[in-house]
Structure 1
Amino acid sequence: MLVESNDKEGAAVYEMIIKQIFQDLQLSPSIKDMRVCVDPKEVVFILAMKMNKTSNFTTLGSVANIKYNKEENETVIKIINENFLPNVLRKLWLEKGRENIHQPNRSSIILEGNQEILDTLIIDDPYENLKKRVYDAAFRIIPEGFRIIRDISQGDIIAIICTDELIKDSWIKKGREYVEELKKV
């Protein structure tokens, strides 16, 4: 982690704040490297973090058996791995509507019509979950009152420029330099 600032005490304080937030959110192992620029004279805060790789997403077909019953015109989903049941229900409720999901028992879900195509439905995406948690951390780290925010994130690098004034081109350039540095890590 690199914290740049013309105020050495301020940089040390921000490094401590960042470490505390990452410890509280249990994100330390998920971030490969980080660059921060804190400039109280310019009133700017630039933050760039590179996320570690995560495991692959999980599809409904990998945690459930999906069979279409032609006579009843319904699709029966038998959950194999119950650890994913809350995710399966949440995702199906979003996709098909809560009123269209029938759960006669803990491990079975019934939908009207042929829904076998649901085997590719992503029910858990660790990358997206991590990304949300990293953005949460970033918004906790941003100084109070810095309401003008520019997101220049790319791929697995979350990068944000914050201020309470108009964002200058030089700050955007600095943020992009951080992004390019982190791409090499």
Structure 2
Amino acid sequence: MEQLETFNVESPDAVGAKTTKILIQDVLADLSLNRVIGRLKVFVDPVEPVFIFTALLRLGTPAIRLKDFAKIEMGSLGKDEIKIELQREAFTVKLLNKLWEKYGKESLEQPDKKIIIVKVDPVKEIDELRELVIEEPQQEVLDRLIDAIALRIIPEGFRVRKHELSTSYVLFVASEDTLKPEWIARAKDMLESMRSEKDA
């Protein structure tokens, strides 16, 4: 497991804190999420009952756009088409699926495995095609992280939840009961304390 800069689990129940920490470590390791969390603080109180999960994230990989792995230019003179010349073929299947979804199969030709012709108005579509997102690694990681927290980490029965999510942090507050304002305030304080430690 890649070492977290901070990993604290607080609880009035010492055994519960230790068990929760082991559970979180196992879940993060199982889903290969260790590297995306830099700092992690959790508070759990089974008597209240409340579970607070806050983490600062370290997501590195930005979205992959068509322009990142292909040359996009006007097609043959006098024709309404755009020529895509693939420089790397790793994303071909995802690209074709996106193009079929956006323009329909009848609008595409693939005369060569590295060439795709899209029959559309090039003036209107060329800039949009260059920026077309083919893969969003950050979003896939965030989806896995939310599933891990919501389905595997938060105690069963804690169905009342509030969460905030961005590419830099995640915050979850969960309980069996109505969420108290002081729990949400505590979660925000935990998040701010991790940010302060990081900046120090």
Q: TM-score, normalised by structure 2?
A: 0.82
The CA deviation string for residues 1-55 of structure 1, in whole angstroms up to 9 with x for no partner, is 1101111111111111101101101111221010111110011111011111403
Greater CA drift, 110-119 or 2-11:
110-119
Contact 2:59 2:167 (8 Å CA) reproduced: no
Deviation at 1:135, TM superposition (A): 1.3
Q: 1:12 aligns with which of 4, 13, 18?
A: 18
Structure-to-structure mapping, 1:170-181, within 5 angstroms? 170-181=182-193
Kindly provide the amino acid, as one letter, of the partner of residue 88 in structure 1. Answer: L
| Distance of 2:192 and 2:105 partners within structure 1 | 44
Tell me the equivalent position of 2:79.
72
| Distance of 1:98 and 1:177 partners within structure 2 | 52
Kindly provide the amino acid, as one letter, of the partner of residue 116 in structure 1. Answer: I
| Distance of 2:109 and 2:187 partners within structure 1 | 49
Tell me the equivalent position of 2:95.
88
1:46 lines up with 2:52 in the alignment: yes
Deviation at 1:97, TM superposition (A): 4.7
Question: CA RMSD, aligned part only?
Answer: 2.0
Contact 1:152 1:175 (8 Å CA) reproduced: no
Q: 2:126 aligns with which of 85, 110, 116?
A: 116
Greater CA drift, 108-117 or 98-107:
98-107
Tell me the equivalent position of 2:136.
125
Contact 1:152 1:176 (8 Å CA) reproduced: no
* Unmatched 5+ stretches in structure 2: 1-6
Percent identity, aligned pairs only, is 30
Greater CA drift, 77-86 or 107-116:
107-116
Q: TM-score, normalised by structure 1?
A: 0.89
| Distance of 1:22 and 1:136 partners within structure 2 | 11
| Distance of 2:132 and 2:177 partners within structure 1 | 43
Contact 1:157 1:182 (8 Å CA) reproduced: no
SS in 1 for 2:161: strand
| Distance of 1:98 and 1:4 partners within structure 2 | 55
| Distance of 2:166 and 2:59 partners within structure 1 | 14
* Unmatched 5+ stretches in structure 1: none
Deviation at 1:110, TM superposition (A): 2.5
The CA deviation string for residues 149-177 of structure 1, in whole angstroms up to 9 with x for no partner, is 10133551100111121100010011111
Tell me the equivalent position of 1:32.
38
Cα 1:63–1:165, aligned 2, differ >3 Å: closer, same or farther?
A: same
| Distance of 2:91 and 2:45 partners within structure 1 | 45
| Distance of 2:136 and 2:112 partners within structure 1 | 26
The CA deviation string for residues 94-137 of structure 1, in whole angstroms up to 9 with x for no partner, is 44455644445433323222131111222233332322222122
Cα 1:145–1:80, aligned 2, differ >3 Å: closer, same or farther?
A: same
SS in 2 for 1:144: coil
SS in 1 for 2:23: helix
